[in-house]
Chains A and B, each alone.
Chain A
């Protein structure tokens, strides 16, 4: 089992999410999470896709994705050189113990009712996991989580690499373990 995170720039056109979902479905690729949203460019949306690759090469997945006409650029977001965040909203019983867990994990109580508190947390997957692990014995009433979003560290942006240059897919080393597809 190998988990990979891909940042995918797509044209902001109708049906583009369906095209990506249809591709993953028909080729049997497993998606762990998918987050889509606007970018600094109104014509471009960005998807962050967390993939559980079993029996599929990351390069093959990227190459198939890159064949979609609306896909502009793809880059793998590695843990070492990118920021990765998830959002958690969770409703738990309102007790001093649960409030203490919230402050310990630097989460925020966004709503407080007689019986429950609603907690908001932003962090890396491991941080969210750790918070949930402590809350679980106290009874989680309701839980909602966003897909992961990722941003490269440093001065470079994905758009710099994909939109400004007329590059090519990395055909020089198609069997490499990294995927970086640009147009």
Chain B
């Protein structure tokens, strides 16, 4: 076998792993790899900040289902990847990060641009590697892609010493990856399936509690089959928006801190939660001890460590959700043939809540633009084939509430880590993965100022994303909490971003089209103008009312029973509902 250097071996391994695109920035320690990258068929997109590379890999992975790849140099290049690695790991997104490391003999000497990135990222990755021998490169890459993409997906980092990239080696890509300590359970146990089916057939107040795992497992079709077979109402968490069509009559919307009254209340009053790829996150359960007090729990997940972590499972089903649902549908059908409780009273109740407490918002009396209206109109005009990527905060919640999602992988956001600045680079990655799809970043003026430099990357690389900056000139969600819980003392949340920066000029300076909308009457035509631009990225500065708040709300640490529809307004229940 002919001798090549470690860098060429790395690039060969990435090609063998099926990588089509990677996002990165070169630097000293990774420099040897950039020489063969120059000749590779892999598209390398030169970003402006490593954090952008990481979130772009995540957006690419979330939109396509493939593994996203980012690459950076040692030290600061690598530490700039920590946030996107933690972000991807929290949201179970398959990404692989390649970092250069100082040469082997220099490791541990506090060398220039040295950071122990394997140590740093241990708690925020599914697994990681430090490679000092070029012979280990192909195996490490093969294992990294295998670990990132199988089981519960996650982030994997491969740190490679510079001298390992420079030394001679032979390329030998393993055909199969076999890891003694890693064999994710794919097939559910049949007893667990029959126990789950039996519980479903006995329950009078069931709810399908659907999490992001359904999207990861590509199991939306199977979920639809189970939902329609049983007639059980569905809630989709923030990570699962799009897993079940919003237009479907059984859909109650999103549960949790800013969920719909119907979704939150249905979970609270249910006698059975059919939990699919969800993890009883605090943003969903509110105060855990008072969450769904009367419900038995079926918990189906690929990660055994999620079972019983936050809430005891009466029936645990470990496996791939597609396999689980494929088995559960016929098992439930058989169980229902023996006994099928009448769900009508329950359905009347939950659909009654949905009708009585729909999502809504106020139109500002001063003639300014309502942020919810902007987001709702973008959703309507752009349609359900569009991919939406949101930042974190009020605009994220509104985008989850007021856009109708009909398909998986059309809603990308940072759910677990809550990473401000996620939207622009994630939208960039999504657009690279789905170039024929319209991609909107719904961003806040605070978030946008964290990562907007990637618009330069978009402008130079023909990645024409659209960015809606929902500009309320403040850190809106923090401001909302200050309004509600800190006596309207707006400490350090005023960004003045209607004055500085000028987002329209900033966009144009970065090679994008900049638009601005300041009145409700201009919203539609501004969106349509943005929709008509497909040769360049476009940024729309939507100047919106700054006092708009996200409702409904369950205050942090309180019970879901204490949901507030709007400020100081608890739902008014009929007496029999309480």
Which residues of chain A have a CB within 8 Å of any CB of chain B? Answer: 10-11, 14-15, 18-19, 22-23, 26, 57, 59-60, 63-64, 66-73, 163, 166, 168-169, 171-175, 183
Contacts and interface: CB of A to CB of B under 8 A. Distances in A.
B316 A171 contact: yes
Contacts of B191: 172
A22 B318 CA distance: 26
A59 B537 CA distance: 50
Contacts of A70: 181
Given A22-B122, A69-B182, A174-B313, 8 more contacts: A22-B123, A23-B123, A59-B308, A69-B181, A72-B180, A166-B183, A171-B192, A183-B183
Contacts of A22: 122-123
Contact of A15 (B130, B179, B182, B307): B130
B304 interface: yes
A174 B122 contact: no
Given A63-B305, A69-B126, A174 B180 contact: no
B185 A171 contact: yes
Contact of B304 (A10, A23, A63, A163): A63
Nearest to B318: A171
Contacts of A18: 119, 122
Contacts of A63: 304-305, 307, 309
B312 interface: yes
27 contacts: A11-B180, A18-B119, A19-B122, A23-B123, A60-B305, A63-B305, A63-B309, A64-B305, A66-B305, A67-B303, A67-B305, A69-B181, A70-B181, A72-B180, A168-B183, A168-B185, A171-B189, A171-B307, A171-B316, A172-B189, A172-B192, A173-B316, A174-B318, A175-B308, A175-B312, A183-B181, A183-B182
Nearest to A26: B123
For chain B, give the interface size range: 20 to 34
B147 interface: yes
Contacts of B189: 171-172
A183 B185 contact: no
Contacts of A166: 183
Contacts, number: 77
A135 to B, nearest CB: 41
Query: What 6 A-B pairs are tightest by C-beta distance, nearest first?
Result: A171-B318, A63-B305, A174-B307, A174-B316, A69-B127, A169-B304
Nearest to A173: B316
A182 to B, nearest CB: 10
A183 B180 CA distance: 7
B118 interface: yes
Contacts of B307: 63, 171, 174
Contact of A10 (B118, B127, B181, B185): B181
A175 B313 contact: yes
A173 B189 CA distance: 11
A66 B308 CA distance: 15
Nearest to A162: B180
A59 B185 CA distance: 17
Contacts of B305: 60, 63-64, 66-67
B323 to A, nearest CB: 13
Q: Which of B303, B304, B317 has the most CB of A within 10 A?
A: B304
B406 to A, nearest CB: 33
Contacts of B126: 69
Nearest to B179: A69
Interface in B87-123: 118-119, 122-123
Interface string B187-199: 0010110000000
Contacts of A169: 185, 304, 318
A183 B317 CA distance: 18
Contacts of B316: 171-175
Interface in B280-329: 303-305, 307-309, 312-313, 316-318
A71 B285 CA distance: 31
Contacts of B317: 171
Contacts of B182: 69, 183
A71 B122 contact: no
A18 B304 CA distance: 23
A70 B15 CA distance: 26
A71 B305 CA distance: 14
A72 B118 CA distance: 21
Nearest to A61: B305
Contacts of B179: 69
Interface string B523-547: 0000000000000000000000000
A134 to B, nearest CB: 44
A11 B181 contact: yes
A8 B181 CA distance: 11
Interface in B119-136: 119, 122-123, 126-127, 130
Contacts of B313: 174-175
A171 B304 contact: yes
B318 to A, nearest CB: 4
B127 A174 contact: no
A128 to B, nearest CB: 33
Nearest to B301: A171
A81 B378 CA distance: 65
Contacts of B130: 14-15
Nearest to A183: B183
A167 B507 CA distance: 56
Contacts of A71: 181
A64 B304 CA distance: 8
Nearest to A63: B305
A172 B194 CA distance: 12
A168 B122 CA distance: 24
A163 to B, nearest CB: 7
Contacts of B127: 68-69
A172 B80 CA distance: 41
Contacts of A10: 181
A19 B183 CA distance: 18
Q: Which of B126, B127, B181 has the most CB of A within 10 A?
A: B181
B318 A60 contact: no
A71 B304 CA distance: 15
